[in-house]
Amino acid sequence: MSETIHRAHNFNAGPAGLPLEVMQQAQAELLDYKGTGMSIMEMSHRSKEFEAMLNETEADLRELLNIPSNYKVLFLQGGASLQFSMVPMNLRPAGASADYIVTGAWSKKAVQEAQKLGPTRVAADTKASNYSTLPASLDLDPKAAYLYYCSNETIHGVEFFQEPQPPAGVELVCDASSDFMSRPLDVSKYAYLYAGAQKNIGPAGVVVGILREDLLARVPANLPVMLDYKVQVENNSLYNTPPCFAIYMVGLVMKWIKKLGGLAAIEARNRAKADLLYQTIDASGGFYRGHAAPEARSRMNVTFRLPTEELEAQFVSEAKKLNMIGLKGHRSVGGLRASIYNAVELSDVQALVEFMKEFQKKHG
Amino acid sequence: MSETIHRAHNFNAGPAGLPLEVMQQAQAELLDYKGTGMSIMEMSHRSKEFEAMLNETEADLRELLNIPSNYKVLFLQGGASLQFSMVPMNLRPAGASADYIVTGAWSKKAVQEAQKLGPTRVAADTKASNYSTLPASLDLDPKAAYLYYCSNETIHGVEFFQEPQPPAGVELVCDASSDFMSRPLDVSKYAYLYAGAQKNIGPAGVVVGILREDLLARVPANLPVMLDYKVQVENNSLYNTPPCFAIYMVGLVMKWIKKLGGLAAIEARNRAKADLLYQTIDASGGFYRGHAAPEARSRMNVTFRLPTEELEAQFVSEAKKLNMIGLKGHRSVGGLRASIYNAVELSDVQALVEFMKEFQKKHG
C-alpha cells in the first residue's frame, strides 16, 4: 500500500469497504477495460467482453461456493428488499403458505412483504429477547411452501451458524445478504439463497441469487417480467440491461477471495477478527456489553453497548478522529456496531481494539 | 485529453460512453471521495457525504430540467423494464384502462407488461411502417388513466419531437430512457416521466423518475414496498440501499451538462452530430438508406441500411478496426445503428462520416 493513499478504517454496515487491491484494479481500468478503449460500464451488456466477464464472475462464484450444477446463478436489481416480494411471488404457489423465522429487522420486513401477497406463518420470533438470540424452537408447518430465514441480522448482530432444519418436503430459503461468502456454505441445503452485494462481495446495486433449477416449475405464469425468476434464468440475467459495473466489482472480489485461498481462508480471517473484538468486549468487566447472546454472536456485525448513551456518542466521535468510520449502531436499536465484513483487515480491528482499551481507561 | 489514454469512438446503444472528464473524475476519487478515505461506493447511504451528493444530484437535475416544485425526483432500480410494470401498478386505478402508443420494441414491451396487470388499449401502432414512422393519428380513450408513449425508440431510431396530446383529464406518461436530457423538456406536460440512466446520463443500474406529486393519491395500498412510488417518495429514494455509485455517476454527468451550458447547449451539440450523419446518409445517392422517416428521425440512434447484409457486416468489421464500436444494428431489426448520445463528441461523428464516405468509395 502506498503511503499516499488515505483510507479509513471502514466499519460501515453496508455499503461497506471493498478490498484495496480490488479498488485499485477498478481504478486502473476505469477508462480502458482490457484495451477496449471503454470502461466496463460504457460497453454493451451483449458485447463479448461483458459476457466473458459475467460468465467468469459466475464461474468463480460457483467454484468458491461449490455450487451444484442443478443450481442457477442470478444477478438481480432492487436489493434484498425486492427479494422479500419476489420470493413469495415466485416460490409460494397460489393457496400455499410459507413459514418465516424472525430474528431481527430484516426477517421482519420479509414477513411483512410476504403477508401482503398470501398466507404467511411466523415459525419463530425472538422479539422477547430484543432480537439478541436465535430461536429456541420452531413451530413448523409441514405443508409450508418453504421455510425462510435471514442468516445474519445486520442490525441486531445475530447470526445462524447452522441452517434451520425444515420438515421433510419443505424447502429452505435464505436471505444471506450480510454473511454471504464470509464462510463456506452448503448450497445444496437451499432451494433459494440470495444476497445483496454491498456487504461482503461488492457495491450496492446488485443481488446474487442461487436457485435450484426445479423450483422454476413453481413460478406462476404472467408475473411482471422483471420479477420473474424464470425470465432471469432463461436470459442469463440479461433480459434487460443489468447493473454492469456492480457485477464487474463482484467479479473482482471473487478473484480476490480466490487469491486469499477461498472461503475457508476467508472464514479463518473473519473468525480471527470477530474473536479479537468479542474477547475485548468480554474482558472489559462490563464496560462494553455485547448485544447478542454468545451463541448467536454475528461474525459480521458486532453490536455492543457502553454504560451510557453519552459515552456511546463520545466513543463514535473520538473513533472518527482516529479515522474509524461507521461505528454508530443502527438508529432503530442504538448503541455501537462494528461491521467487520470480508474486506476489513485484522489490522483495522486491532486499531479498534486498541482504541476501545484506551477509551475504557479514560472513561471506565 | 492526454495522448496516452486509449478511448474508442463509442457508438454503443446503451450502456454507452460517458464523458471523458466525468470518467477521469470518477477515477481520481475512486479510492478517496473528498478526503473520507473511502470510495463513494464504500460509504453508508445514510452518511452525510452520501446524502449531500444525492441531494446535489437532484438539485442539479431540477435546475437543468427546470422541474416544477410539485414534482418529485426518484432514483430507482430495475431499469425501464421494471417501470413497465410499476407504471400501471401505481398509476392505473383498479378497473381503469390506460392508452399506449406503440412506435417500436420498447413501447411494445411496455404494453405487454401493462396488459398482464389490467385493461390496456393500444392508441396507435406503427407496425405497418416497420416502426419507421410516428403515428399519423391516435385513437384515444377520453377516460384513460393515462396515455403512455416512448419518446425515443432506441432500436428503431424513431423519436418524438412533440409530445402526443392526451384528451383533457388524461395524464401523460413517458419512457424517455434514450433521449432524456438530450434536449430541453417541458416537465409540466407529464404526470410521470422516467429514464434509465445508461444512455445519456450515467451507467446502467439506476432509473430517474419524475412524478407529479398529486399522482401519489392514485397509488393503491399494500403494493410490494419496492414497487411503490409513494414509499420511494416518502423515503427520498432511500427506503433501502440505492445503487449508490450509479447515482454518483449521474451526479457527475449533471455537473458536466451544466458546464457545457445546460440542455439548450446539449441540444445544439446533439443536433449538429445528427445533422452531419443524416446529411451523409442522404447525400450517398441511396448507398446508405435511413430506416426512419425523415420527420421521425431520432437524434440519438441513427439507424440505416446498406445495399446488402454482407456489406453491413463488412462495414461493422472495418469500422471496428478504426476503433469505432457499437455500429451493428439491434439483432431484432438488423442493419446499422450509430448511437450518438450526449457523451459522443462531434469529432467521433466526423470520424464516422469520413469512414462512411471512404467505405462508399470502395464498395459503392
Spatial CA neighbour of B76 closest among B173, B196, B174, B193: B196
Active-site residue B60, yes or no?
A: no
In this structure, what CATH number is given to the domain that contains residue A253?
Answer: 3.40.640.10
Q: Which residues of chain B are within 8 Å of residue A226 when distances are taken between CB atoms?
A: 78-79, 81-82, 84-85
- In the predicted model, is pLDDT for residue A209 greater than 80? yes
Local confidence band at B2 (pLDDT 50, 70, 90 cut-offs): very low
Q: Is residue A4 domain-resident?
A: no
Q: What is the ipTM of this complex?
A: 0.97
Q: Which residues of chain B are within 8 Å of residue A323 when distances are taken between CB atoms?
A: 37
- In the predicted model, is pLDDT for residue A3 greater than 80? no
Give dist(CA B326, CA B319) in Å, integer: 9
- In the predicted model, is pLDDT for residue B23 greater than 50? yes
Spatial CA neighbour of A178 closest among A143, A146, A207, A217: A207
Percentage with pLDDT > 70 across chain A = 99
Q: Is residue B2 domain-resident?
A: no
The two beta strands, A120-125 and A171-175, are unpaired
Local confidence band at A331 (pLDDT 50, 70, 90 cut-offs): confident
Q: Do B10 and A38 touch (CB under 8 A)?
A: yes
Determine the pLDDT at residue A2: 46
Mean pLDDT within A249-253: 98
Helical (H) or strand (E) element with A339 = strand A336-339
Domain membership of residue B346 as a residue range:
263-363
Q: Is residue B35 domain-resident?
A: yes
Active-site residue B106, yes or no?
A: yes
Probe site for chain A from B31, B241, B250, B325 (most A CB atoms < 10 A):
B241
User: Based on the domain organization, do A285 and A248 belong to the same domain?
Assistant: no
Chain segment B55-96, per-residue pLDDT in tens: 999 999 999 999 999 999 999 999 999 999 999 999 999 999
The full 3-state SS of chain B, as one line of letters, equals CCCCCCCCEECCCCCCCCCHHHHHHHHHCCCCCCCCCCCHHHCCCCCHHHHHHHHHHHHHHHHHHCCCCCEEEEEECCHHHHHHHHHHHHHCCCCCCEEEEECCHHHHHHHHHHHHHCCEEEEEEHHHHCCCCCCCCCCCCCCCCEEEEECEECCCCEECCCCCCCCCCCEEEEECCCCCCCCCCCHHHCCEEEEECCCCCCCCCCEEEEEEHHHHHHCCCCCCHHHCHHHHHHCCCCCCCCCHHHHHHHHHHHHHHHHHCCHHHHHHHHHHHHHHHHHHHHCCCCCCEECCCHHHECCCEEEEECCCHHHHHHHHHHHHHCCEECCECCCCCCCEEEECCCCCCHHHHHHHHHHHHHHHHHHC
Query: How far apart, in Å, do the first and last CA atoms of chain A sit?
Result: 36
Percentage with pLDDT > 90 across chain B = 97
User: Based on the domain organization, do B66 and B137 belong to the same domain?
Assistant: yes
Give dist(CA A230, CA A218) in Å, integer: 10
Tally A–B CB contacts below 8 A: 218
Residue A185: partners with Cβ closer than 8 Å, 6 or more residues away: A65, A176, A193, A263
Longest dimension (CA), chain A: 64
Chain segment B254-302, per-residue pLDDT in tens: 999 999 999 999 999 999 999 999 999 999 999 999 999 999 999 999 9
Local confidence band at B4 (pLDDT 50, 70, 90 cut-offs): confident
Looking at B210, B240, B260, which one is the last position of a domain? Answer: B260
Total domains in the fold of chain A: 2
Q: Is residue B200 domain-resident?
A: yes
Mean pLDDT within A10-36: 97
Looking at B209, B237, B260, which one is the last position of a domain? Answer: B260
Mean pLDDT within B5-34: 96
User: Based on the domain organization, do B278 and B355 belong to the same domain?
Assistant: yes
User: Based on the domain organization, do A45 and A127 belong to the same domain?
Assistant: yes
Local confidence band at B190 (pLDDT 50, 70, 90 cut-offs): very high
Q: Is residue B8 domain-resident?
A: no
8 Å CB contact between B184 and B52 = no
Catalytic option among A99, A106, A179, A273: A106
User: Based on the domain organization, do A58 and A74 belong to the same domain?
Assistant: yes
User: Based on the domain organization, do A287 and A247 belong to the same domain?
Assistant: no
Phi and psi, residue B159, nearest 5°: -130, 140
- In the predicted model, is pLDDT for residue A333 greater than 90? no
Give dist(CA B90, CA B87) in Å, integer: 5
Mean pLDDT within B32-58: 97
User: Based on the domain organization, do A217 and A292 belong to the same domain?
Assistant: no
Determine the pLDDT at residue B364: 85
Q: Which residues of chain A are within 8 Å of residue B325 when distances are taken between CB atoms?
A: 36-38, 43
**Higher-confidence residue: B5 or B205?**
B205
8 Å CB contact between B338 and B11 = yes
Chain segment B332-344, per-residue pLDDT in tens: 788 999 999 999 9
Please state at what angle helix A20-28 crosses helix A244-260, rounded to 10 degrees.
Answer: 130
Q: Is residue B6 domain-resident?
A: no
Looking at A260, A284, A313, which one is the last position of a domain? Answer: A260
